[in-house]
Structure 1
Amino acid sequence: MDIILRKVRIKDEENLKDVAIKDGKITAIENSIEGSAAREIDAEGRVLIPGLIESHIHLDKALIADRLPNKSGTLAEAIEVTGKLKPTFTREDVEERARKALMMLVKNGTTHIRTHSEFDPSQGFTGFETVMKLKEEFKNLIDMQVVAFPQEGILKAPGTEEMMYKAMDMGADVVGGIPYNDSPAKEHIDLVFEIAKKYDKPIDFHQDFKDDADGITIQYVCEKTIKEGFEGRVSVGHLTSLGALAKEKLNPIIELMAKAKISVMSLPATDLHLGGRKDEYNVRRAVTPVRALRDGGVNMCLATNNIRNAFTPYGNGDLMQVAMLAIPVSHLGGADDLPTVLPMITTNPAKALGLKDYGIEVGKKADLVLLDTKIVNNAIIDIPDRLYIIKNGKITVETEKKIKLNF
């Protein structure tokens, strides 16, 4: 055996376990494993979780907040500011920033990401090609799915439709879309499905990102998903407009989403920052109704979206902090709710991304994180140090702690 993790806590209601790893796979999970390994770690009852999954992020736009600030804090200015900056991005610039963002994610226990990489006629494929290069370079540290993302729209930006097809030919893993930033929105959605069908790839929309529910298209996305047989292969990010709907209007939409097996990536750090900017009192939280969607059978995920740019001027690549933020924002701190949060950054996004060899089970890939906490239910609220991060059966990150108390 290559590694044995001894006395780990996988579930609060179960005994401590030993976990053995060989050739990048989990080979045994037992109360006590006989024999030895090249590396043995005594966890002393600490919590072992599968690697964190960052299901919605923009690497090519990371770490640019200081270049041209979004002073109003609105979505409109964020798009405007970023649109001005993108033509100035060089390959070297994108690579340097994306590399820094990736290292933030890796050291915080993220083993899989889905990154939206954009292109348009004004900037070409500078960022997209760079992210595709980093996908290969970082494959031993983190698995990357790259979304072909038309931030400026497709129909209103001539030349982008051809670029969408070229991006898929260049190896994009997912077809992206942004109906609320294009017109007509339904034609945009139809085109994204057409491309996805041609290349047999999943779809990920930036969806209904507004404070109100006027002109939402999530119902159309669900209907199209079912019609085209794409159930379970469509994800949507943001979806903040649903927070403006009363139950009698919201519930039928949730039922339709569950039927279409749509996955939702809630992005609280960004949505809280940009949303409700015109509210003078009783300022809205401007996030999608996570609890209602979860209770309605929708696969709910939590993700970062951006790190230190015009859309989100903060962040350090720690999904635990994103999940901690979501707990008070989405009322997820109750006794029955708290256990549902950790899956929103692990097993739920694994389902959304279609990962087949993920999880703490014999035969699965050894992508694991040992946390400095001894209670699984506290895995988020403790925001624990990640003591060991294991990717493909190899230890990629170790954390050493020295605390001296002078009382």
Structure 2
Amino acid sequence: MSNLVDMIIRNVKIDDAKPVVDIAIKDGKITAIESNLALTATNEIQGNGHVLIPSFVESHLHLEKAFVMDRKANRSGTLQEAIAVTAELKPTFTHDDIMARSRQVIRSLVQNGTTHVRAHAEFDPGQGFTGFDAVMQLRDEFKGIIDIQVVAFPQEGIFKYPGTEAMMVEAMEKGADVVGGIPYNDRDAKEHVDFVFDLAKKYNKDIDLHQDFSDNATNISIDYVAQKTIEMGWQGRVSVGHLTSLGALEPARRDEIIALIKKADISVMCLPATDLHLGARKDEYNVRRTLTPVRALRDAGVNVCLATNNIRNAFTPYGTGNLLHISMLAVPTAHLGGADDQITVLPMLTTNPAKALGLKDYGLEVGKNADLVLLNTDKISSVILDMPAPLKVIKGGKVVAETEVTQKLAF
């Protein structure tokens, strides 16, 4: 290896049980991880013993619906009103409006250490492809800063809204990366799932479904999705978001379905900001948390991720684009605060969603892409609790965002 590399990040903590190391980067790849590297670089960063991790991966987000809660509020806080309010607003979204709001979200994501995002982009015969086309444009605009996977997402259903079936095909022809779906919001869940799998097979694409989003376990279809995944040979290529109904099942049936999810190698995205806000609105006492059963899924070996879903709209009237805020919502509500549980949370923001998104060159290893974030803490075990500022966000070996941290006390 030449003594000259593009970047060296010196004295960083990548393992709490080991001394600090230096990271060498050339041509966007990690080329060496050693102590006291005898190399020079055109850009040398002093880590000062801070934690360096692979950058965060946002595995489930809606860009084009962000920052619209001031236009029409969801007064009841229910999922039903959120869907109705959004359906009313979507035809008013213009291309320029969507681009401006989405850019705001993307900048926040990157500033907070995220360099990969899977974006569910909506379309239907009422609004056309305005939102979808904008997200596709953003995918190209921010290339080299953040990688955007675009999901073709039929929020209003496929078969109950005539014309959507053809639009799903057109979205794939336009270059969508993933086939989306929402079985619980259509005339027949199995019909919906069958269509999605057939389309995914035709275009050889992964699948990402909004799945079983309800306080109760009636009319669930995750078992059918898992069986279909195995039947079609799509193991490791299917993700589901929400899956809150699973938590309402009796333990024996829940565990039976979880075993099937594991067999199908389906990834599950828990979306606490939205699901805690919308869930259990009719509970008058002993109010349920209405989250997918994270611990049971994790303990069974299912790939569990934490994601944002929505930012400041009818589904989620808050949010910053900071995945560490999402993890702190999950820690108490999913009982992840115990000593043995905390260490499982950070992977739900990094390596687990990277697996779900099929990122082949992700990770802090030699030969992997240099997509990294330097955090203002000195212990990896403290990242979730400290929620540290991202001092440097690195994408493809280039710094794409920085945060200066200054603090003064008067005592």
> What's the TM-score, normalizing by structure 2?
0.98
Question: Which residues in structure 2 correspond to 1:3-82 (within 5 Å)?
Answer: 3-82=7-86
Residue 125 of structure 2 corresponds to which residue in structure 1? 121
Question: Which residues in structure 2 correspond to 1:262-281 (within 5 Å)?
Answer: 262-281=266-285
Q: What is the CA deviation profile of residues 85-117 of structure 1, one whole-angstrom value per residue up to 9, with x for unaligned ones?
A: 011111011111111111110100000000000
Tell me the SS of whatever aligns to 2:291. Answer: coil
Task: Flag structure 2 segments of 5+ consecutive residues without an equivalent.
Answer: none
Residue 374 of structure 2 corresponds to which residue in structure 1? 370
Tell me the SS of whatever aligns to 1:83. Answer: helix
Deviation (angstroms), 1:379: 0.6
Establish whether residue 223 from structure 1 lines up as the match of residue 223 from structure 2: no
Q: What is the CA deviation profile of residues 97-156 of structure 1, one whole-angstrom value per residue up to 9, with x for unaligned ones?
A: 111111110100000000000000000000000110010000111000000000000000
Establish whether residue 355 from structure 1 lines up as the match of residue 363 from structure 2: no
Give 4+ residue runs of structure 1 displaced > 4 Å after superposition: none
Question: Which residues in structure 2 correspond to 1:143-154 (within 5 Å)?
Answer: 143-154=147-158
Distance in 2, matches of 1:273 and 1:404, equals 36
Residue 306 of structure 2 corresponds to which residue in structure 1? 302
Q: What is the CA deviation profile of residues 284-306 of structure 1, one whole-angstrom value per residue up to 9, with x for unaligned ones?
A: 00100000000011000000000
Establish whether residue 240 from structure 1 lines up as the match of residue 263 from structure 2: no
Establish whether residue 188 from structure 1 lines up as the match of residue 182 from structure 2: no
Tell me the SS of whatever aligns to 1:154. Answer: coil
Deviation (angstroms), 1:5: 0.8
Task: Flag structure 1 segments of 5+ consecutive residues without an equivalent.
Answer: none
Equivalent AA in structure 2 for residue 281 of structure 1: Y
Distance in 2, matches of 1:381 and 1:325, equals 11
Distance in 2, matches of 1:59 and 1:21, equals 31
Deviation (angstroms), 1:237: 0.1
Deviation (angstroms), 1:399: 1.4
Distance in 1, matches of 2:187 and 2:257, equals 22
Question: Which residues in structure 2 correspond to 1:284-303 (within 5 Å)?
Answer: 284-303=288-307
State, as a whole percentage, how many aligned pairs show the same letter.
Answer: 65
Residue 162 of structure 1 corresponds to which residue in structure 2? 166
Deviation (angstroms), 1:402: 2.0
Distance in 2, matches of 1:337 and 1:406, equals 37
Establish whether residue 251 from structure 1 lines up as the match of residue 258 from structure 2: no
Tell me the SS of whatever aligns to 1:321. Answer: helix
Equivalent AA in structure 1 for residue 219 of structure 2: G
Equivalent AA in structure 1 for residue 270 of structure 2: S
Residue 386 of structure 2 corresponds to which residue in structure 1? 382
Deviation (angstroms), 1:403: 1.5
Question: Which residues in structure 2 correspond to 1:205-224 (within 5 Å)?
Answer: 205-224=209-228
Q: What is the CA deviation profile of residues 22-59 of structure 1, one whole-angstrom value per residue up to 9, with x for unaligned ones?
A: 11110100022002211212212110010100000000
Distance in 2, matches of 1:73 and 1:17, equals 48
Deviates more, 1:395-404 or 1:221-230: 395-404
Equivalent AA in structure 1 for residue 39 of structure 2: G
Deviation (angstroms), 1:3: 1.2
Q: How many residues align?
A: 407
> What's the TM-score, normalizing by structure 1?
0.99
Tell me the SS of whatever aligns to 2:41. Answer: coil
- Match of residue 327, structure 2, among 300, 323, 339: 323
- Match of residue 177, structure 1, among 162, 175, 181: 181
Once superposed, what is the RMSD of the aligned Cα atoms? 0.6
